[in-house]
Chain A
Amino acid sequence: MFFPGEREFIGFDFARGDAMSHFLRRQGWVAGLFVLFVVLFIITRLIQPAYGSGDFGSLVRAVLPYAFAVAAQTVVVIAGGIDLSVAAMMALTSVTAASMMSGASEEYALFVVPFVLAMGFVLGAINGMLIVITRVPDIVVTLATLFVLQGAALLVLDAPGGAAADWLKALISGTVPIPGLPDGIDAWLPKALLLLIVCLCIIWIPLRRSRLGLSIYAIGSSELAAFRSGVPVARTRIIAYALSGLFAAFGGLALTMSTGIGAPIPGPYLLASVAAVVLGGVALGGGKGGLLGPIVAVFVLRLVRTDLTLLAIDPNLTAIIEGAIMVAVVMFGAFITMRSRQS
């Protein structure tokens, strides 16, 4: 199933040339995605001229759990692995938070949030440890933990329920009031977007700049070269999965915040996360890409859904189109990696 050389394949080959700046060379794909997002946004306005700031706010709120799921997947994929338990982890953390906050005081939620985040981190680390210790391939281990976490979520809550503290719910509704900014612009800054940016930046930016971050890229890019460069491969892998668990816990909290309850059955976040990771320029196989691309990609994918809905296409048909897009993206990514491995 896995061959030693398999991890060394190349993902997207960016355009080269001395005239292009380093930024464009590295971020060309992300810039393209961003342009795609803007184009889609314009299309949305054309379809529905009334599409306004309020709709944008609900788009961001809908994106929030997806974005965290994608972040969780991105870290692991960059480290050369894959995490199938992302969606189940989100379900478990969501129901845990919802059931703990149910009937509890507002202040109690101040304890619940860090507890749930720590839980995600630890469960993710356990995923990583199982992979390192048992030497069973990551895809099998996380498949097994997918079932275990799903079961655990059902044990916590066997049907959708629980509650969320009001201040948590308020955290993602409405816009950020910035004094001195005209309301017209202010309305386009939903709180959910700010929350997403803050949560991702707090973890990602220091990580990206640290040796640990470099090590995560290193083990994904070439495990042998990383080992020879003195990178502690096993430890780095465990930390990557722990971070994935942490992001998934953020995603679970976001679910509880936006719905006000917890649901034990995982949503369609697994395939969506893999598709957004591939679309975002992170090669399955590791070592390449960043967090920005997948996050923009997830916005693109959600906006496509919005457009399909606005075009009054049957919502179930929308699900099929969406699924087909995701599968096509994943197949395209696999095809690219296969071609580059051959050359």
Chain B
Amino acid sequence: MSTTAIQPVPFGRRVKRFMADRPLIPLIILLIILVVILQILRPGIVNERWIANTIKFAIPLAILAGCQTMTMLTGGIDLSIGTVATMSAFIMATQVVNQDPAVAFLLAMMPAVLIGLVNGIGVGVFRVHPLIMTLGTSLIGTGCLQVYQRTVIASGARIPDFLAWLGTGLTYGVPNALLLFVPLAALIVFTLSRTGFGRLLYAVGDNERATRLSGVQYWQVITALYVISSVLAGITGLLYIGLIKAPSLSLAEPLVLPSVAAAVIGGTSIFGGRGGYTGTIIGALILTVLTTLLTILQMPEGARRILFGLIVLFVTAAYLRIVEER
């Protein structure tokens, strides 16, 4: 540790430390490489429209990955975000038929808050492992949604124009979704770096015992965190329904695994205490481009899942090595 100043540092270690210190630069390089490969495989594909499209699809993923980033900072994970996003999207699309949009919005956000609260209490008070807890609430949520679906089956569904405008619209070639995403991302980055709550997320994930000795009450932090994560997932659901425009009972489910992968690729440690949201955003972009690439290569859905699973495993293992070598 202390001898590094005197001895020449081996190149491999220097690279590792660089990666650990500035994960953004290699990530951006990776993103550029992927885009270049895409351009080589399909010359001319990379144009203004493609970029706008990529951003549109990357944004919902990036917000969900933000939920994942925050929970992972505390050493947790939130697998219920897919269900939460689906629920709020579905409720919005069906309630807006008969209700005022504002009322529909409130109704749509209710299950999100509720599931977040249950997750937070389960993890923070009862100390259930977050993975099991969020998986459980997501199953219950899906069940509730199925029951709900039968009650509204007659009334049909409608995508509010505003959401469609936000999800798919372009203004001067720039996706409207950025109107929502940019302030949201700024808020997340600010919360993580400049607020007491953000500090605590990192500290709890790094060393829960130390935070306890400093007077932090774990359950408060965790409950607040999972509620925030769920609310963000609910908002993502509304955005996503505007993008996909077809409400279904498994709308956002396929985004769950990529959201974990995006956060991991972005340099957030699944063990907690390290990471940030900017890396996650780039991670989401990388995954979106990678998906395009795999589609062009005609890779089936199965291969994509295998690849994402391996990415999570290898990045985690590599990260563990980097940390251990110091």
Direct contact of A and B (CB under 8 A): yes
Cβ B137 vs Cβ A327 within 8 A: yes
Q: Complex formed: what's the CA distance from A264 to B305 in Å? A: 13
Cβ B147 vs Cβ A317 within 8 A: yes
Tell yes or no: A206 within 8 A of B by CB: no
Cβ B272 vs Cβ A338 within 8 A: no
Cβ B127 vs Cβ A338 within 8 A: yes
Cβ A327 vs Cβ B140 within 8 A: yes
* CB nearest neighbor in B for A324: B140
Enumerate B307-326 residues with CB–CB distance to A below 8 Å.
307-310, 312-313, 316-317, 320
Tell yes or no: A89 within 8 A of B by CB: no
Enumerate B227-249 residues with CB–CB distance to A below 8 Å.
none
B137: chain A residues within 8 A (beta carbon): 327
Cβ B313 vs Cβ A327 within 8 A: no
Cβ B302 vs Cβ A152 within 8 A: yes
Give the interface residue-count category, chain A: 35 or more
Cβ B304 vs Cβ A151 within 8 A: yes
Nearest Cβ in chain A — how far from B262, in angstroms? 14
Tell yes or no: A146 within 8 A of B by CB: yes
Give the interface residue-count category, chain B: 35 or more
Query: Which listed segment binds B: A55-63, A135-143, A183-191?
Result: A135-143
Cβ B270 vs Cβ A148 within 8 A: no
Q: Complex formed: what's the CA distance from A171 to B175 in Å? A: 59
Q: Complex formed: what's the CA distance from A331 to B130 in Å? A: 11
A316 and B143 contact, Cβ closer than 8 Å, known pairs A271-B136, A330-B136, A331-B122: yes
Q: Complex formed: what's the CA distance from A147 to B307 in Å? A: 9
A156: chain B residues within 8 A (beta carbon): 302
Q: Complex formed: what's the CA distance from A64 to B300 in Å? A: 31
A271: chain B residues within 8 A (beta carbon): 132, 135-136, 139
Tell yes or no: B146 within 8 A of A by CB: yes
* CB nearest neighbor in B for A137: B271
Tell yes or no: B128 within 8 A of A by CB: yes
Tell yes or no: A51 within 8 A of B by CB: no
- From the candidates B128, B304, B317, name the one contacting A334 in the complex (CB within 8 A): B128
Cβ A158 vs Cβ B301 within 8 A: yes
B135: chain A residues within 8 A (beta carbon): 270-271
A335 and B126 contact, Cβ closer than 8 Å, known pairs A1-B75, A143-B312, A151-B306: yes
A317: chain B residues within 8 A (beta carbon): 143, 147
Nearest Cβ in chain A — how far from B300, in angstroms? 6
Tell yes or no: A42 within 8 A of B by CB: no
A141: chain B residues within 8 A (beta carbon): 313
Tell yes or no: B129 within 8 A of A by CB: yes
Cβ A323 vs Cβ B271 within 8 A: no
Q: Complex formed: what's the CA distance from A216 to B129 in Å? A: 22
28 A–B contacts from the bound complex (CB under 8 Å): A130-B313, A134-B317, A137-B271, A139-B131, A140-B313, A143-B77, A144-B309, A144-B316, A145-B309, A146-B309, A147-B306, A147-B309, A148-B310, A151-B306, A151-B308, A152-B306, A271-B136, A316-B143, A319-B139, A319-B143, A319-B146, A320-B143, A323-B139, A323-B143, A330-B128, A330-B132, A330-B136, A334-B128
**Residues of chain B having any CB pair with chain A under 8 Å:** 75, 77, 122, 126-129, 131-133, 135-137, 139-140, 142-144, 146-147, 150, 257, 260, 270-272, 300-310, 312-313, 316-317, 320
